[in-house]
Every structure is written in C-alpha cells, then in structure tokens.
Amino acid sequence: MRGHALAMILTLGSHDLFLDIFDAAPVLDLHPGEVLIHAGTKADQVFNILNGMVMAHRTGSDGRRQILSFLVRNNFVGLTSTDDYFFTVEAVVETRVAICSRSALMERLNNDPAAERTYLNMLHRVLEDAYDLVYSLGQRTAIERLAVFLLYLRYWHRICENIVDDQDAHLNRVTLPMKREDIADFLGLKKETVSRGFRQLEERALIHRDEHSHVSILNLPALRELAGIRDFASPRHLSANLQP
C-alpha cells in the first residue's frame, strides 16, 4: 500500500488495488486556483492526484467558505452518494491529476470484492479523519488548531515520502503551499488569526518561520503536547498506513 487515508471528502488514500484504474488514464494539468470540480455539476468522474495539491471546499451563497480537505499525491477525489458533486475542488499549486469515469470505478468495485473491501475500509478511515476535524473545530483553540495542522502537514509529508523514522530531520521543515486564508478557512479562523498564531508559536520557540511558505518545527514534543494526544502520528494511523 502506497497511499494513505488522511485526506478527506470522499477521498481515499490510493491502494495498489485502485491505482491500476488510473494507470493508462488521461491526465489533466492544473494551475494554482484552477477548478477541477464545480459544486453542483454532475459527478461522473473521479480523479487521482498525481502530484501537487488541491483543496476541496464548500462555499455558501454569502461567501463563507469551509475547506474540507487538502489533497496530495495518491489521493482520490470525486465519489459522492448522489449524482452531483456537493463540493468544489481547486488546485493549490501546479497539479497533475489522472481522470477516470465514475462508472469505470464502480464497475471495478462491483467486480472485485477485494477492491471493494479495501475501498470500504479506506472510507472508514476518511470518516474518522473528518471527525478529527470536527473535534478540532468544536473544541480546540486557534493556536491548538495550528499545532494540529502543522503536525498534519508533517504527517502527510512523511507518508508521501515514505519516511519510516518519525524523528527524521527532514520532517521538521514543513512546507505551506497554500495561502494563509486557505489555512484559516480550513481551521475555522481568519487569516489574521493564523498569522498571529504562527507568531505566538514562534515566540514560544516551538517553530521558526523561515519564509512565508515554510516553517521549521523546533520543539516537536511541545507541539504535540499543545495539539493534544491526538497527534496524526498516533499508532492508529501509522499501523493502518505504513505497511510496505
């Protein structure tokens, strides 16, 4: 298994069982801000992120926007229980995705019980991750949400690069490819609060802001303490995702 299930929104960490659907599939290149999926349109395609990053969000008619997930390599997006997408997906950076028809995926799942079971299991994990976000939004303070978010990015990076050692030094330099406002809309905050939160984390010597789009984690244990025990490097996630 090469993927992971941290990504949300009907999004699965791909598994070898699914990857082959996209092996010879057409690809699409997206520029930052380009929209892959428009909420409300017919949900007849599914996508696999090959590289880059996209974000799925729901935006109300009054302009309020909630980002539901950031998706990276080997994440899977597009399936819904209904005929239409209920979320929008747009590129955060230069991104390449593979395209597959929804019917082809469904056929694969229907004809391959092992694939369907794998899909089911991953969907469970995606749901559990959605509840992680619910807990953050409902119970954690701004700075705690930021701590969780940084650990979340660090974990993604670890999975994508297949780095086994949790203490690997590379992991402590975290890339933030999205805008501050995107982080804010993901964490239920405003962009100014995100800025101030990072500053406070720096004042407490938990992180160092190298550039706008990079931070270094200086004190991982303290950051985890702040985020609460539910670190994304918890055994629950690792055991399910790091099998070779």
Partner DNA sequence: CGTAGACTTGACGCATGTCAAAGTGCGTGG
Partner DNA sequence: CCACGCACTTTGACATGCGTCAAGTCTACG
Residues that bind a copy of itself (CB under 8 A): 5, 8-10, 58, 60-62, 64-66, 68, 79-82, 84, 86-87, 109-110, 113, 116-117, 119-128, 130-131, 133-135, 137-140, 185-188, 228-230, 236, 239-240
What is the nearest approach in angstroms of DNA to the Cβ of residue 198? 6
Q: Rounded distance, CA 33 to CA 147, Å?
A: 26
Which residue in 193, 226, 237, 241 binds DNA (CB under 7 A)?
193
What is the nearest approach in angstroms of DNA to the Cβ of residue 219? 19
DSSP 32-52: TT-EEE-TTSB--EEEEEEES
116 binds, among a copy of itself, DNA, none (CB under 5 to 8 A by kind): a copy of itself
Q: Rounded distance, CA 172 to CA 109, Å?
A: 38
What is the nearest approach in angstroms of DNA to the Cβ of residue 143? 6
162 binds, among a copy of itself, DNA, none (CB under 5 to 8 A by kind): none
Q: Which two three-digit tokens encode residue 86?
A: 């209920």
198 binds, among a copy of itself, DNA, none (CB under 5 to 8 A by kind): DNA
Torsion of Cα atoms, 197 then 203 then 204 then 206, to 10°: 70
189 binds DNA (CB under 7 A): yes
What is the nearest approach in angstroms of a copy of itself to the Cβ of residue 135? 5
The interface with DNA within residues 169-188 (CB under 7 A) comprises 179-181, 188
Which residue in 142, 160, 218, 233 binds DNA (CB under 7 A)?
142
Q: Which is nearer to a copy of itself, 56 or 174 (CB)?
A: 56
What is the nearest approach in angstroms of DNA to the Cβ of residue 93? 10
What letters, b where the CB count within 10 A reaches 16 and e where it falls short, cover 121-137?
ebeebbeebeebbeebe
DSSP 102-129: HHHHHHHHHH-HHHHHHHHHHHHHHHHH
Query: How distant, in Å, are the alpha carbons of 95, 134, 148, 163, 188 from that of 228?
Result: 33, 14, 8, 23, 18
The interface with DNA within residues 80-139 (CB under 7 A) comprises none
DSSP 1-32: ----S---SS-EE--HHHHGGGTT--EEEE-T
The interface with DNA within residues 27-46 (CB under 7 A) comprises none
SS3 state of residue 66: strand
Among candidate residues 201, 183, 199, the one with its CA nearest the CA of residue 191: 183
169 binds, among a copy of itself, DNA, none (CB under 5 to 8 A by kind): none
Q: Which residues bind DNA (CB under 7 A)?
A: 141-143, 179-181, 188-196, 198-199, 209, 211-213
